[in-house]
Amino acid sequence: MIVQPPAVLLTGGAGYIGSHTAVELIGAGYAPVILDNFCNSSPKVVDRIGRITGIVPHVVDADIRDAAALEATFARFPIAAVVHFAGLKAVGESVAHPILYYQNNVSGTLCLCEAMLRHGVGKMVFSSSATVYGNAAEVPTPETAPPNPANPYGRSKYIIEQVLADVAAANPSWRVVILRYFNPAGAHESGLIGESPRDIPNNLMPIIARVATGRHDRLRVYGSDYPTPDGTGIRDYVHVADLARGHVAALARLLDDALPPIATINLGTGIGHTVMEVVRAFEHACGRRIALDVVARRPGDVTSSIAAVGQAESRLGWRAQRDLDSMCADSWRWQTANPDGYGQ
């Protein structure tokens, strides 16, 4: 008798974190099914996943708000659990277009939950964000810190968390792990997959990488008067491959029913780095100076954001393994091998 690996639906699975998670899932013996509308990703990533793992995952080109597409997907594949990445994620865009974010992120999740309920699938790992904490009073920030999101993107994530808690409370068979991760960085060590935003990057490291390759003239450093060692903001950067492993660990606990109906867990390193520390580490990785301008602070930016990581260790048996130098080296390898990303 041939035992088929558990099928896991990855919404937004062609994106930056989703694609790395697909690689880790295949390596752990799962069968990922990627559902993505490719609004901020590339179909080319699927073949790259196949080159890394030797297995090309199934792909459904669809939006999570498309009820018919979701129905067909759950009918076609024996989905055991869902890892939910799909969502818009640019803070500035969310401020300018809040309805778009609530419609896509929140309404999309409602459509997904309805499909799961219809098909008796009650296990989900949800990709949330440390933005739900806002300007947290306690740093490192534990999962018990009161949520205080400062923008529509963060609020959309927190609303989804509340929706999932309510659905789990109403359906005793449901189990949900909410992963609040801090600042993803780096790329797969092969250089085959990495962060490839369609527009100007929102995250620090891909902007630095583009300056290093000459695609952008200079890096803007927002603020040098924070109460930190060099005056620039501190963030907890976590390697995307470590994040992917965290999702696999959470999924394994879900499928073993080893967690309560709702578990909220931070994924980070527990170590903070200033913007200038990241710049210097990237300069070391690429062997080039990063041209930069120091400008005024951006509204809404916090001084420091660092994860308390005890829950990830105790509940998931997970901890980050890669340091900032590894993130920079892997990011530079990806950037030099793929100067135009996936060329979308």
Return the H-helix or E-strand segment holding 282.
Answer: helix 275-286
Residue 226 and residue 195: Cα distance in Å, rounded? Answer: 28
Predicted confidence at residue 135, as pLDDT, reads 86
Asked if residue 215 belongs to a domain, the reply is: no
Q: Does residue 91 register a pLDDT over 90?
A: no
Mean residue pLDDT across the chain: 95
Q: How many domains, in total, are found in the chain?
A: 1
Structure tokens at 231: 């005056």
Amino acid, res. 147: P
Mean pLDDT for 256-283 is 97
Concerning whether 133 is annotated as a catalytic residue, the answer is no
Neighbours of 333 (CB within 10 A): 20
Burial class (CB in 10 A: 0-12, 13-18, 19+), 123: buried
Q: Return the pLDDT at 293.
A: 97
pTM of the model: 0.96
Does some domain include residue 149?
yes
How does DSSP classify residue 306? -
Angle between helices 44-53 and 16-27 (to 10 degrees): 30
| 86 phi, psi to nearest 5 deg | -55, 125
**Domain annotation covers residue 284:** no
Q: List the catalytic residue out of 101, 102, 133, 153.
A: 153
Q: Looking at residues 14-36, what average pLDDT do you find? A: 98
Residue range 91-104: mean pLDDT, rounded = 93
342 domain-assigned? no
Residue 51 lies in a domain: yes
Confidence of residue 203 (pLDDT cuts 50, 70, 90): confident
The band of 3, judged by pLDDT with boundaries at 50, 70 and 90, is: low
Give the pLDDT confidence score for residue 180 in this predicted structure: 98
Domain assignment present for 60: yes
The C-alpha angle 128, 273, 307, rounded to 5 degrees, equals 35
What would the two tokens of residue 35 be?
Answer: 């559902």
CB of 320 closer than 8 Å to CB of 269: yes
Domain limits for position 177: 7-194+237-270+306-321
With helix as H, strand as E and coil as C, how does 43-87 read?
CHHHHHHHHHHCCCCEEEECCCCCHHHHHHHHHHCCEEEEEECCC
pLDDT band at 1 (very low <50, low <70, confident <90, very high): very low
Residue 112 in domain = yes
Predicted confidence band of residue 344 (pLDDT cuts 50, 70, 90) = low
* pLDDT interval class at 58 (50, 70, 90): very high
Residue 315: CATH number of its domain:
3.40.50.720
Once rounded to an integer, what is the mean pLDDT over residues 199-220?
89
Identify whether 298 is part of a domain. Answer: no
Residue 294, judged by CB atoms within 10 A of its CB (0-12, 13-18, 19+), counts as middle
Helices first, then strands: H and E counts in the chain = 12, 14
